[in-house]
Amino acid sequence: MSEGEIVHPVNEDEELCFQVIKDLDHVSGKVEGSITSKKYMRNELWSLMTYMSAPLWYFTISPVDTKHPISLYYADTKETFNPFICMAR
């Protein structure tokens, strides 16, 4: 198991050992920061992404407004910026 191969219990002692590991894994799901709680959160995140679709992130790099050519061009006009943000789902 330490090398990553899949191991199936062969005899009664191995089945009991695997059951203890399974019980400990179940209990540690309630402990904050444990590997099992992180696994549960990952499963919840995948379920949420399946239900609502993947999140979209937009990053905007804004240059200095007083020196950027676009802002200097629009500084003298009476241009207004009213973006439409669709929040409907």
What is the spatial distance between Cα 88 and Cα 32, in angstroms, rounded to a whole number?
34
Residue in this structure with the two tokens 């009476």, named with its chain if needed: 78
- CA dihedral (18, 26, 40, 31) positive or negative: negative
Query: Where along the chain do its domains lie?
Result: 12-74
Q: H or E element: which one contains 87?
A: none
The pTM of this model reads 0.44
Q: In degrees rounded to 5, what are phi and psi of residue 81?
A: -115, 110
pLDDT in tens, 24-71: 888 888 888 888 889 889 999 889 888 888 777 776 666 566 677 777
For the chain, state the CA radius of gyration: 27
